[in-house]
Amino acid sequence: MAALIGILPGDGIGPEVTAQARRVLEAVGSAGGHAFELREGLIGGAAIDATGKAFPEATRQLALQADAVLLGAVGGPKWSDPAARERPEQGLLDLRAAMGVYANLRPVRPHPALADASPLKAERIAGVDILVIRELTGGIYFGRKQRDADSASDLCSYTRPEIERVLRVAGQMAVRRRGRVASVDKANVLETSRLWRSVASELFAREFPTVQLEHLLVDAAAMHLLSRPADFDVIVTENMFGDILTDEASMLTGSIGMLPSASLNAESRGLYEPIHGSAPDIAGQGIANPCGTILSVAMLLRHSLGLETEAARVEQAVSAVLDAGLRTRDIAAGGSQTIGTAQMGEAVLARLRA
């Protein structure tokens, strides 16, 4: 098949990890006879330095034309001035809004070989297989913001259609999985959450009557993710809660560097990225874990290009490398050999070719 894939390396370790993911895409395309056109663009701090804008027009056009976009990471101390007119994070928000990617999918499935890397006991994470679905284009991150010398406010707002469409994705995913959804809110305090809970009850009763729906307050969900993570199947929640809970859930796997994500719009054109940040403290050292980005490529192949066999092969290649004891520094516990970013990418490629 033919596909245009936009690659936005971004800042910090972004260029390092996306370089390895690009090699995987090229290998998949070559092996399967797929005509992947890989075109790079600027975003975040790198874009500010080059163009003065965190999300320049050329990148916007690439994102709108591409069948899928692979992102590295944005941000860093160089651009951290809160008074700056352009900040890297705004480029990410603008990218999501431009693509209309409202449903963020983050799978959390600890690999058995990495049990020693998790801060939780091995028996606590045994059998964990969670899909967190985060609403991505609404809520407090996109609401009206005000600030003066002595006060500030951020508006959190949601509409019924915004809530329904992300809940529908959760229901569809649950039907394909184990048939359970935990809808996370703060309905004891927030009006947006009370609307969310009401819409969830109505929609699941109407459209997914066979799915078991559970309502959880966000603070309870945060505790249960540590005390009973294997009980969860699909978790769906609003933007800010999802941002926080997915970072917490990442520690079940032993490292935030292992987790991929997919952000989808109504046409399944997606934005794919590891859930980690730009990690400026290790940027340029060649030690970052590229597995989250490589596994994001697997999600890209599956959700936007419909290449399930190729996606599974990429996931199996990463799994085989971990089973062989190869580790980057962040997941070194329990491994037999600690390697760098490029070496991990090469190891995955070798398994993929085999």
Catalytically active residues, by annotation: 141, 186, 219, 243, 247
- Using DSSP's 3-state secondary structure scheme, residue 349 falls into helix
What would the DSSP string read from start to end of 105-147? EEEE---GGGGGGSSS-HHHHTT--EEEEEE-SSSTTTS-EEE
For residue 25, the Cα-to-chain-centroid distance in whole angstroms is 18
Assigned token pair, 167: 């809940």
Assigned token pair, 153: 């406010």
73 DSSP assignment: E
> E strands along the chain, which residues?
2-10, 35-40, 68-73, 103-108, 130-135, 145-147, 152-154, 180-185, 212-217, 234-237, 262-264, 270-272, 326-327, 337-338
Q: Which of 100, 77, 251 is nearest to 166 (CA)?
A: 100
Q: How far is CA 191 from CA 103, 183, 347, in A?
A: 21, 15, 50
Phi, psi of 326 (to 5 degrees): -80, 135
Interhelix angle for 191-207 vs 160-176, to 10°?
50
Task: Residue 258: count other Cβ atoms within 10 Å of its Cβ.
Answer: 27
Assigned token pair, 273: 């990225």
